[in-house]
Amino acid sequence: MLSVILDRESEKYLIDIVSKEKINSEELIKKLLRNYWSQLQPSPTILERLGGIPEHLLDTEENLSDRDVRKQIITEKIRQKYDQ
């Protein structure tokens, strides 16, 4: 258990927020701590937001940074798939 002594201004804010949110002060403090803690956490990378490393990568030694090369390889893969 934690006890905190608030100054008058902070106590007034607490009372106002509790009355507007219609929750008790303990729940409000828990909510504020959760929100603050989540803001401190590092944001997920784009790869993590997309669900991780793709399962089906193109197996090639070519430089996939070049758009024309990527387009050609993908075209070949699609043709191979539909030729089967």
Domain containing 21 equals 8-40
For residue 33, is it within any domain? Answer: yes
Number of independent structural domains in the chain: 1
Q: Give, as one character, the DSSP assignment of residue 62.
A: S
Alpha helices in 1-84 (DSSP H): 8-21, 25-40, 46-49, 67-83
For residue 30, is it within any domain? Answer: yes
> pLDDT tens digits for 24-62?
999 999 999 999 999 998 888 888 888 888 777 767 777
For CA atoms 59, 65, 67, 69, give the dihedral sign: negative
For residue 22, is it within any domain? Answer: yes
* Structure confidence at residue 84 (pLDDT): 77
What is the distance between the alpha carbons of residues 17 and 26, in angstroms, rounded to a whole number? 12
| Predicted structure pTM score | 0.50
Cβ within 8 Å of residue 21, ≥6 positions away: 28
For residue 18, is it within any domain? Answer: yes
